[in-house]
Copies of this chain bind each other. A is one copy, B any other.
Amino acid sequence: MASSNDKSTLVERVAAGDIRAVARAISKVEDTSKDAAQLMKEIFPLTGRGLVIGITGAPGAGKSSLVDKLALHYRQQGERVGIVAVDPSSPFSGGAILGDRIRMQRLGLDRGVFIRSMATRGNLGGLARSTVDAVSILDAAGYHKIIIETVGVGQDEVEVVKAADISVVVLVPGMGDDIQAIKAGIMEIGDIFVINKADREGVLATEKELEALLSLASREDAWDPPIVKTVATEGAGIQQLADAVEKYREFNSKASSSDGRRRAVARWRILELLRERLVVQTLGKDSASEKLDRLAGEVASRQRDPYSAVDELLR
């Protein structure tokens, strides 16, 4: 790894795997700083080497433990691992950063593992966009595996996980009635399914239910998503998960359908960025325009409807 050098550019230092440069580059895209666009234009050609693994599941599914154990597994193979945790629920707290420190300790302050939590800053959105940008930066920095971890099944979260090369959905035994509710989303997202906490009661029922749901799905590719049982806290099933990831990677490298997926991801990425750019163009970066504040006050007091307020902003 190159040491930081005043004469080399930030992108050069990222490309050399300089950890502080990576952290700074991610902060830039997170804050939508003015030179973030130029930075990403230079980063993009350096990407495409790392394998991006998206891991999603409900709170309580034990995703963090699973991700940490999978990261340790890859470390033991001598690979460098980047973890980007999407944390949309704590926009104002220091929770994300505190979480990173705790996890860094758990992973033994290993310099081969880079962890970053992405949180919403301000209200102009862009969390999904800054997350995929952070993944690109880690990719450019030569991380072999980049894991995106997201809580929940929200709209943005689903998109972020779809943007990965491989998507893993984590369930726990006894999800019961609501497995139906997330059915359609699961069908579309999961390349691999994990039933974590598989030492709990009800694992067989959840597995049967999941198998039944998966048998109804029709994927464009001929991939048959495997179900892997894990007890992440004990490290059980992690090897099987890594094997499943590798198997899908091999499958996908030959499948022509992956072109369609890459194209859909590119389309979504362009749209996300466009959306953000247009709002910033209209309102300025911090959206703290007096005009917006005045209009919000008028809508709040019902003197005006939101649609007319937007007409006014666009005038």
Give the shortest distance, in Å, between A181 (CB) and chain B (any CB): 6
0/1 string, A283-315, CB within 8 A of B gives 1: 100010000110111111110011111100110
Give the shortest distance, in Å, between A6 (CB) and chain B (any CB): 26
Do A287 and B305 touch across chains, with their CB atoms under 8 A apart? no
Cα A314 to Cα B40 in complex, Å, equals: 18
Cα A301 to Cα B275 in complex, Å, equals: 22
A78 within 8 A of B: no
Give the shortest distance, in Å, between A92 (CB) and chain B (any CB): 7
**With A124-B271, A155-B120 as given contacts, are A262 and B300 in contact (CB-CB < 8 Å)?**
yes
Cα A68 to Cα B153 in complex, Å, equals: 22
A278 within 8 A of B: yes
Do B182 and A89 touch across chains, with their CB atoms under 8 A apart? yes
Do A151 and B41 touch across chains, with their CB atoms under 8 A apart? no
Interface residue ranges of A29-57 to B (CB < 8 Å): 37, 40-41, 43-45, 47-48
Do A307 and B41 touch across chains, with their CB atoms under 8 A apart? yes
Do A178 and B266 touch across chains, with their CB atoms under 8 A apart? no
Cα A297 to Cα B275 in complex, Å, equals: 19
Which of A14-22, A183-191, A222-230, A248-256 interfaces with chain B? A183-191
A273 touches which one: B62, B267, B307 (CB < 8 A)? Answer: B307
Cα A297 to Cα B292 in complex, Å, equals: 37
A158 contacts across to B, CB distance below 8 A: 88-89
0/1 string, A164-193, CB within 8 A of B gives 1: 000000000011111111111111100000
A152 contacts across to B, CB distance below 8 A: 58, 151-154, 157
Give the shortest distance, in Å, between A247 (CB) and chain B (any CB): 24
Do B296 and A270 touch across chains, with their CB atoms under 8 A apart? yes
Do A275 and B270 touch across chains, with their CB atoms under 8 A apart? no
Cα A179 to Cα B155 in complex, Å, equals: 21
Cα A151 to Cα B310 in complex, Å, equals: 29
Give the shortest distance, in Å, between A231 (CB) and chain B (any CB): 14
**With A44-B306, A127-B155, A157-B152 as given contacts, are A59 and B175 in contact (CB-CB < 8 Å)?**
yes
